[in-house]
Amino acid sequence: MIVSRIFGLAVLSFATLAAAPVVAQDRVVPSSMNQLRLSYAPIVQHVQPAVVNVYAAKIVQNRNPLLDDPIFRRFFGVPGGQQEQMQRSLGSGVLVDSSGLVVTNNHVIEGADQVKVSLSDKREFEAEIVLKDSRTDLAVLRLKGTHEKFPTLDLANSDELQVGDVVLAIGNPFGVGQTVTHGIVSALARTQVGITDYQFFIQTDAAINPGNSGGALVDMQGKLVGLNTAIFSRSGGSQGIGFAIPANMVRVVVASAKSGGKAVRRPWLGARLQAVTPEIAETLGLPRPSGALVTNIAPNSPAAKAGMKVSDLIVSIDGQNVDDPNGFDYRFATRPLGGTAQVDVRRQNVVIKLKVPLEVAPDTGRDEIELKSRSPFQGARVANISPALADELRLDSNVEGVVVTAVADNALASNVGFQKGDIITAVNGKTIAKTSDLEQVTSEPARLWRITIIRGGQRINVTLGG
């Protein structure tokens, strides 16, 4: 079975548009045939105008290596060079601001040279990408050349969802047109999906298929509770297990876009966390393996300021239980900046309440460059490890070295095997503390390159020919 990203869908919960906020006591099982004849049509009619189709296109170079041979070209009479081809992808999105802001999945528009948005009334607009956030797989678009107010969906508090709530999904599966499916919330806080940094998904059995990514998941008041993003499938089609990004995470990304930022502003803890295994739980005397174990704390970070210590076990944040590091990361990242969050930690069998400042990670001194000199690093982008970059790439901020942030396709660095997140600590016996050190070392020709990197916490020594 595989987890596949999908393209666009919406989901609704069971209630009426005029109903008061749903609480546990309001949920009832249908008790008569009349109740079973109730329709979702009023909710669908309210939601449909705010759900859109997103079309993305990018130009790719198709290169046939045989065309590099002049004899081959002359014999077969074909031109040399590369041929361009337009790749297109289809997804869905949701209007979240009347000025024309649309939220969708980042993988729908990733690498796109052109993005268009089609409304439910068949009108089509070109759109610009306002903000992309690969860590959450969310992106925000803005419709171009518009001077009107568009219908929108309000964002619900996704923390109020309960397993068993009825939901509807609206999107454009397989490009057949806007389609509605319904189901229930099958599970909450799914953290083992493995497609984004912040894993805390709503699971639903509402039918979701390719073409639904970025669509709305809404409750019975017509509010957005999630953005559909992936399916668990053997065949690539719907198997009744779909995943949606909670609305509370969508809210953070949309707020950053509205403020004019090019990157998402979210709180930074400044500590590395580890899941609690059954063995660790037994050592700590826990009844079950739960919580997030602190394994590293960055100097001057919010965690350090709050008095957090290595080996502390985080058990809750603002009164909400923490089952694992993914759960804490989501809860912490969706807290509003400013003020503090109360984080309860278990230290030597005593629960201690800590006030953690909600502030962004500093991103000074990154000095990102692309290495162009002839060396194994040619085509790689590297940067100094700032706290913000360490948080983004899940690195220890106190590690010395420079980190690979990107590797160009078909570049020498890619062919050698360098990857995003590799930390380069030494080259040819010289310590690499900042990007200028690596730039200087690679500007000098060498017959052999002796390189030390850290990948996934493991130190690796390699020797490459010049």
Catalytic residue set: 107, 137, 213
Return the axis-axis angle of helices 247-258 and 325-333, rounded to nearest 10°. 40
**Residue 393, CA distances (Å) to 197, 209, 301, 340, 444 in order:** 9, 30, 16, 24, 29
| Partners of 60 in beta bridges | 85
Write the CB contacts of 172 (distance below 8 Å, at least 6 apart in sequence): 7, 8, 53, 90, 91, 92, 178, 179, 211, 212, 215
Query: Read out DSSP for 311-353?
Result: T-EEEEETTEE--SHHHHHHHHHTSPSSSEEEEEEEETTEEEE
Two structure tokens written together for 2: 């595989």
| Nearest alpha carbon to residue 374 among 441, 435, 431 | 441
Number of C-beta neighbours around residue 166 at 10 A: 19
**If DSSP codes are grouped into helix, strand and coil, which group holds residue 187?**
strand
The DSSP secondary structure of 372-440, one letter per residue, reads -SSSTTTTEEEEE--HHHHHHHT--TT--SEEEEEE-TT-HHHHHT--TT-EEEEETTEE--SHHHHHH
The helix (H) or strand (E) run that includes residue 246 is strand 242-246
Taking alpha carbons only, the member of 177, 171, 166 closest to residue 209 is: 171
